[in-house]
Amino acid sequence: MPSFKTTLALLATAGVLVSFSPALAAPPAVQPYAWRGAEVLGGGFVSGVVYHPTEKGLVYARTDIGGAYRLDRQAGAWVALNDGLTRADNQLSGALSLAVDPQDSNRLYMAAGEYTGPNARGGALLRSTDRGATWAKAELPVKIGGNEDGRNTGERLMVDPHQGAVLLLGAKDGLYRSADHGATWSRVESFPRLHVTVLAFDPVETVKTGETAIVYAGVAGAKGGGLLVSTDAGATWGAIGDQPKGLIPHHLALDAKGGVYVTYGNGLGPNGVTDGAVWRLDPNSGAWTDITPVKPSGTDVFGYGGLSLDPSRPGVVMVSTLDRWVVGDEVFRSTDGGKSWKPLRDKAHHDVGRAAWVRRLEGKAGREMGHWIGDFDIDPTNPDEAIYVTGYGLWRTRNLTEADRSGRTDWRFDDEGIEETVPLELVSPPDSASGHAPLISTIGDIGGFRHDDLTTVANSRYFDPHGGTNRGLDFAELAPEVMVRTSDPTPTGGFRSTDGGKTWTAFASSPPREASKETGRIALSADGRRMVWAMRKAAPYVSSDQGQTWRPVQGVTAGDQPNFIPASDRVNPSRFYLYDAAQGAVLASTDGGETFRTVARDLPGAGPLKAVPGVEAEVWLPTRQGLMRSTHGGAAFKRIAGVDDAGLVGFGKAAPGQTHPAVFIWGKVEGVEGVFRSDDVGKTWLKLNDDRWGFAELRALTGDPARFGRVYLGVHGRGIVYGDPAPAKE
């Protein structure tokens, strides 16, 4: 989110008064906080796994929007490695590729960036000499698409096994090289400007400089792709003939004799792959052999993604299908170099552990293995261990070779420490007749939860129906057992609960909507009897009969690109508010959402407007030019001194001796970015996070009405993080 320095100005437009107080004299004080994750386990696409080739037990996982992880075997959990990223580097949470140094197990590299579009940040190479505990950043001359198509292929960042200072990076426009441990990069001009999907070194021989001579590169082009090879350490490149037509290499693996195994798909993935194959190249003769386990045919269409060899047992090859939606994805194992194959799924046992929600997410028979199996990896130091990835987390086995005896393999959802959800809304209701759950969440892709126990997902309730991506969420402040949520793929797009989120009933109807339309945000009146709903790019509607019927609100001009965010007053059931992002205006209703009138105009770009619990007609608006407060039902906003910009605002229990709820923001105060709390209505602020937690991108924020100081954060790609004031050190 862009930041803007404060300018002294008076916005004297209809209903808007922005006044400026003297700036704070010093940067905000820091209050130590203890931060923890609310356990969900997984919840997002783990796009790849990288084992160190010789260091026993050392393994990393990469994700498309949540950074990288290292497995702490002693603790039995994954350790997040990129939580220190700040808002300035928020797109570096996309881990497109990881590379380890075969000669130095402490070195780790990450090609970082989420998108390659015109407004995207440039890519960066993150370098670590302590296994990801700390990083140095080198800007790249190319953008990196860690959350774009093809993120499941690779690895496309590699360290030369003979010269650890030399790295190669495949990008969408060709190949780049570094000779100084990734500090600086230059384009390999001899390499065609094609999309590189995977790289692999064959360490069998070197050139005079000591670099590895043979390098393979998989590429994608307008009419498919293919495999290129260099025999002079990347100085020149040539295409290998007789490859399958119209297919793109997804993964490469080399055996001890230099044999090259390749999985192919007719698209980049992880979605949309409808054809594929597995081939083997004999580098001595140049002959290819088609060793595809099962060929796509008829309605059973799919490609091949994951690929791994067992270096301790020549001939052992494992591959995974990709996008086999009709009958479910499969993992195949061969012990004779691909001459024959054994499927694992029917005899595989999958233990979800505490993450029972995984079973309900997949649902269908044949989906036991999961979906988006874009990567499969055998531990090179332990033939019994393997990990494969899915769209919602990863699975690990410790008895892989049992597949060659009884056929049964045991897989566990070993995602402790991995929290990759995208929470889109968080609410913390007060105690209710249905019992108090401290937090309710709506989450992208997987639904949401009533978090009865933040420390273990086993004691939380997964939404039923989960409804895929859930967006809007609200509860009735005066009757907190009543809640509503919106859900993109469900028929009426929304649900209502009368028991604090334990059970849910679908709305009987919805406003006019397209099947693909995002369901947007919803506001519930303080008594739970009325709702105002604004879907994405649509005018808002109101219901007074629990969603049986809906009618357009009056007094609202939608325009060509409407973008409304509704909120309810937390005291008066007749009051609702709308933030009109397209017009920079706030509208208010005093008749239960039936009619609205504009009460503030010409506001800067803003985040969700929030009403204050326990105070009628008080609303706060986080904006790119500061934090605004109105005590007049959305009219006459005043700017809070010292806040340069604010992305989100929320409220929690008042501090001892105070009556106004504590205010939390994510933004910038006196030039310092972070998460802040004010106990005196914005007069002073405390910074709550340190360098270990940069909170690069937040999607939701709320305080806790029952616990002073607690704040809940929805971190993009890192799940739900909650913080409490740290106990004083003795």
Q: Which residue has the tokens 């590699």?
A: 158
Q: Are 292 and 307 in contact (CB under 8 A)?
A: no
Characterize the bridge pairing of strands 124-128 and 136-139: antiparallel
Question: CB within 8 A of 470, min separation 6: which ones?
Answer: 424, 425, 442, 443, 444, 447, 448, 463, 485, 486, 487, 488
Rounded distance between C-alpha atoms, residue 445 and residue 449, angstroms: 13
Q: Are 694 and 85 in contact (CB under 8 A)?
A: yes
Token digits of residue 699: 């999607």
Does 130 participate in catalysis according to the annotation? no
Rounded distance between C-alpha atoms, residue 87 and residue 250, angstroms: 32
Q: Are 173 and 143 in contact (CB under 8 A)?
A: no
Identify the active-site residue in 160, 310, 329, 445.
Answer: 445
Q: How far is CA 86 from the centre of its chain?
A: 15
Handedness of CA 109, 155, 259, 343 (dihedral sign): positive
Identify the active-site residue in 64, 452, 645, 704.
Answer: 64
Burial of 326 (0-12, 13-18, 19+ CB in 10 A): exposed
Rounded distance between C-alpha atoms, residue 229 and residue 235, angstroms: 11
Does 415 participate in catalysis according to the annotation? no
* DSSP string of 305-349, one letter each residue: EEEEE-TTSTT-EEEEEES-TTT---EEEESSTTSS-EE-GGG-E
Q: What are phi and psi of 400, to 5 degrees?
A: -60, -40
Rounded distance between C-alpha atoms, residue 433 and residue 430, angstroms: 10
Q: Which residue has the tokens 């008080």?
A: 618
Supply the Cα-derived Rg of the chain in whole angstroms. 27
Token digits of residue 294: 């099962």
Q: Which of 276, 286, 285 is nearest to 307 (CA)?
A: 276
Residues in the chain: 730
Which amino acids are annotated catalytic?
64, 445
